[in-house]
Structure formats: C-alpha cells, structure tokens
Amino acid sequence: MSSFQIIVGSMLGGTEYVAEAAQEVLEANGHTTEIHFQPDFDKINRDQQIWLLCTSTHGAGDFPENIENFVHQLKTSDHNFNDLPFLVIAVGDSNYDTFCEAGKSLNNIMLDKGSKQLSDLLTIDISNIDDPELAANQWITSKLDLF
C-alpha cells in the first residue's frame, strides 16, 4: 500500500472537506495518510510518498493564504522531485475567469519540478455540483489502481 501526504489550500474550509473525503477513501483502501491544513514544506515527507494536493483558488487566481508559503518554498526548492508522484484536486467556481487557477498552477509547478503526475488534475466546479466531497471520493476511488 502507498503513503500519502495530503496538502490542503483553503480559505473558507470547503477544500478541507474535499481533502478529508479523499483521505477517507485512501485509508479505507489500506493506504496511510497525513493531512496538512497548514502545510510547512520542510515538515512534509517526500520519501516514498505520493502527494495529493487539494486547493481552492482565491481572488484573481491566487493561492489561499494558508498555502502561499508552502508554494513559495516549493518553487524555490532545489530538491529533486523526480521520485515524487502527485495528484491535484482543484476546487473553484466556473463563473470566474480564474476557475481553478491555483490548482492548475500547482499542477504545473509540480511538473516543472520533475514530479510524476499520476492522473490529470480533477477540477471541481462548486457552481455546478451539489456535493464536492462526493466528487473527490468518486475520483480517488477511480484512481485506486494507480497506487
């Protein structure tokens, strides 16, 4: 079984629920998880881990405040990320031009760092879906054969 570091960027708490829904599926299927609601880059395990990054978008495509420092540290890190597989869940509202921009940016940062993307990112449109946690749950369930 795999070990996951779940890194959460959230302004109002909705993305925290999405991350917890994904965590429940992973743990129910025998995977270990550690969730980070206030992610500190230096304290997140990278050794034989899969990173699941869950973030909403704030303002004009910005990262939520709780994850800004993590993203800065990630961008400026000289760590080798070639052996670090990852997944991204982006939460947003398609009524805005910057729909899921923070998640898309985070996905690109991970790719630029040489990480292995296990699947296309999931975008959850809160304006068109009643249950974002269920969407995350179903998506993670559909990806279980990848890890």
What domains appear along the chain, each with residue ranges and CATH number? Answer: 3-146 (3.40.50.360)
Reference 87, options 55, 134, 120; nearest CA is 120
AA letter at 141: T
Question: CB under 8 Å to 70, separation ≥6 — which residues?
Answer: 7, 9, 39, 40, 41, 44
Using 50, 70 and 90 to split pLDDT, how confident is the model at 12?
Answer: confident
Q: Please, which residues bridge with residue 56 across strands? A: 91
Say what percent of the chain tops pLDDT 90: 86
Residue 13 has a pLDDT of: 87
3-class DSSP assignment, residue 22: helix
- Per-residue pLDDT, averaged over 54-73, amounts to 94
Residue 40 has a pLDDT of: 94
3-class DSSP assignment, residue 147: coil
Using 50, 70 and 90 to split pLDDT, how confident is the model at 59?
Answer: confident
Question: Which phi and psi (to 5°) does residue 95 adopt?
Answer: -75, -10
Using 50, 70 and 90 to split pLDDT, how confident is the model at 118?
Answer: very high
Q: Are 8 and 36 in contact (CB under 8 A)?
A: yes
